């Protein structure tokens, strides 16, 4: 199995896919129907163009602008103190259920993590899908069932965590090249 390293986050056996392949891969079905997506369409009068991702860290919300003064708002987990990323980037890659190996900073705190957590594993912190960013070791991704409670908090090593059902929705909307802005 070849190793793919995207934006400093290690993925093993990850595949870059189109939005149509995500649904055919069964990811939506694997999420189940017992949870309700937390996303909602809201007024968003800021001057950002349609199709842009805005991460408002103080709100712990991600906005995908849709135009006409609206956006789709998703709850997220952001980086813990000293780890939260701010600035501009773009979506560099899109992956369905990527395998994951911990970056060095995570491995320092968790030396007993396995070298690789396979994609689709219930212990894989990347969840159902990941959008890697052009910023080293930062991705917007799903989460494990046990980590769902972290959404709405500052808990990660810099990545943006979403509920799996919400990252799948965003995966369908965002394209490689989509602009991302993280603000306080």
How far is Cα 132 from Cα 95, in angstroms, rounded to an integer?
8
141 given a catalytic annotation: yes
* Catalytic residue of the set 28, 110, 141, 172: 141
pLDDT reported for residue 29: 35
pLDDT tens digits for the chain (184 residues)? Answer: 333 334 334 443 343 333 333 333 334 333 333 344 589 999 998 889 999 999 999 999 999 999 889 999 999 999 998 888 899 999 999 999 998 888 888 888 888 888 888 899 998 999 999 999 999 889 999 999 999 999 999 998 889 999 999 999 999 999 999 999 999 9
Read off the CATH number of the domain in which 8 is found.
Answer: 2.40.440.10
Q: How big, in percent rounded to 5, are the helix, strand and coil portions of the chain?
A: 20, 35, 45
172 given a catalytic annotation: no
* Catalytic residue of the set 28, 110, 159, 172: 159
Can you name the residues that pair with 64 across neighbouring β-strands? 53, 72
pLDDT reported for residue 109: 82
pLDDT reported for residue 170: 98
Q: How far is CA 53 from the centre of its chain?
A: 11
pTM, to two decimals: 0.79
Domain extent, residue 113, equals 3-183
Structural domain total, the chain: 1
């Amino acid at each position: 199995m070849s190793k793919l390293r995207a934006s400093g986050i290690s993925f093993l056996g990850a595949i870059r896919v189109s939005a149509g392949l995500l649904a055919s891969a069964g990811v939506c079905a694997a999420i189940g129907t017992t949870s309700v997506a937390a996303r909602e369409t809201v007024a968003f009068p800021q001057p950002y163009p349609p199709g842009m991702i805005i991460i408002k860290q103080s709100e712990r919300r991600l906005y995908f602008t849709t135009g006409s003064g609206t956006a789709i708002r998703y709850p997220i987990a952001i980086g813990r103190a000293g780890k939260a990323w701010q600035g501009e980037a773009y979506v560099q890659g899109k992956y369905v259920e990527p395998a994951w190996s911990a970056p060095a900073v995570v491995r320092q705190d968790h030396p007993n993590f396995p070298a690789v957590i396979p994609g689709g594993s219930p212990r894989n912190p990347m969840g159902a899908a990941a959008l890697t960013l052009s910023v080293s070791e930062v991705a917007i991704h799903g989460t494990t069932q046990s980590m769902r409670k972290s959404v709405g908090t500052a808990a990660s090593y810099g990545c943006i965590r979403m509920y799996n059902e919400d990252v799948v929705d965003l995966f369908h909307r965002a394209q490689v090249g989509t602009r991302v802005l993280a603000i306080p």
